[in-house]
Structure 1
Amino acid sequence: MQARYDKCADKSGSRWADEQYSLLALNEIFEVAYFTELLANVTNNVPGYDAASIAPLDRTYVIDTFTAVVNQEKLHAAGVNGILESAGQPVIQPCEYVFPVTTFTEAVILAQTFTDIVLGTLPEAQTAFAADGGDESPLVPVFGSVLAQEGEQVGFYRYAQKKLPSAAPFLTGGSPSFAFTAIQMFIVPGSCPQPLSAVNLTTFGPLTVVTAPAPKNMTLEFAVPGAVASDTNSIVYLSGQNLPVTVPISTVTSNAGLFHFTSSFPFESGFAYGLTIAALVKGTGESFTSNDAVAAATLYGPGLIEIG
């Protein structure tokens, strides 16, 4: 059976042309590498991934689950690369990766986080495909099916942590440059066959969330590798399908090349459980009406906050 992926050539001038298709392929290939390593660790009883570490989950069930995920992600990657190839664009090859996890629990927490980012990026792709029309319109249901499949995956990652399988009624949206920056957290610099600089998306400076967040109003500490000031910068939160929330920063200090600052986290004002994205932006007090507008003003981010 020929997939609808194979019949959809890219359209010149598309907002999701070339660069964003490359982003989706880059992400799917990263996921293949991540879950292949996770599956190998569980299969080979690597310390931290052995039967005792994954209990009370059944080891055979976990192996079967991640075998399916690896195979599914391979098809996702092949599909997006097929779109690039049909448009005469270079297909994306694997990079070298570093995964900052050493246990099964850490691995599923990270899998939940980056899958949440994907779940926020794919709806924007669907919107662009629908607006462009023409040859791209068949991609709307295709990526809708990928979106639903990734949702099934994240339900398992949450269940493995004894969390409710579904985090919130409306998941957090994103923007392509936030996803592009997040993927690069795991890529060994200079290891990609195609230079990442060829992808026409912004790579932001890192925004570290220093404080462990909780589902309540609280103050969070952040750190960035560059100068910031309370009269020229703000933090913006993206949570659920709410409008972005802008809050001031304060208590700016510097130490060993890092600037630390604090900002309120107004969770009880209607933030969603699951993923919240933080970004340090230019300006103060600005009201943003879209996630893309936040990305356009961002200096450092995304800061990834998982609540429940």
Structure 2
Amino acid sequence: MKNTKKIWVWRLIIGIFVLAIIVNLGATLYFYRVACVRNDTPVAQVKSSSPTYHLVKKFDQLTKSTQTITNDGLKLDAWYVPAAVSTDKTVIVVHGFRQNKSAMRQYGQLFHELGYNVLMPDNRGAGASEGDFITFGYHDKSDVIAWAKFLTAKNPQSQITLYGLSMGAATVMMASGESGLPSSVKNIIEDCGYTNAWDEIVYQAKASYNIPAFPLVYSVSLESKLRQGWFFQEASSTKALAVNKLPILLIHGSKDTYVPTSMLEENYKAVKSGTPKEKLLIKGATHARSFQTNPSLYRATISQFMDKYNPVKN
């Protein structure tokens, strides 16, 4: 009788364990698809009621050319808008998670009005670019470097600024620490970027789904390693900033609950000692809404930073 009970207890334990594995596997595949698999559902654009919407309308009137490169076996697409007055200065504008280049038109217009050429790529896995996966900056950083090299090959006198929003911000921060980044890149501007993909996904799992990191985030990270070759911890802005030597401006909204505002301080502290760095905290701004919340301060701060580290007029 006792042996029969023990057998049933062990069967129950094993059954629960197997069920837990099956449930976690299903959840892993679901959340991996949500976080990391391409989704071409139309992205949110700037609302017509936004104080920066007039910049979108102006940008739509500009003459754009389509530029393409191939990196890592993927064909990548970008808009190029020349400055009104010929210049060697170009800003590469990098979009965020589940966005594409069209979502960045207000920023493209901002830099155009400041006198710069503007290159606006679609990240891999977005827009008109090829790719099946979203890589949170891990692979995207090499694409940004490839675009910078593309501009430099076309014009060896190029002096380039990297600007990114949200995931794009993390991407340009990660690119800043790469040895392959050409010397033509002069400075970095990031707006609401995360410290690393692991911290951001753990935060989102808790904030959006009330799910702890273990075991699900670990297994989704493993899925990323198996399918894309990288763990979430490897997509790190802070590690890159620790070796970055380029002047950097870090921007964040005080009410950002998507990429928590605390990450601004972590990224700022991570910047290599001696590297010029500035930060701008926009009061009342939620995620990726700093420009819309205080357009005049945002523009003025970026303009001053650019005048210091990549001025149109030398």
After TM superposition, the score normalised by the length of structure 2 is 0.28
After TM superposition, the score normalised by the length of structure 1 is 0.28
Which protein is bigger by CA-based radius of gyration? 2
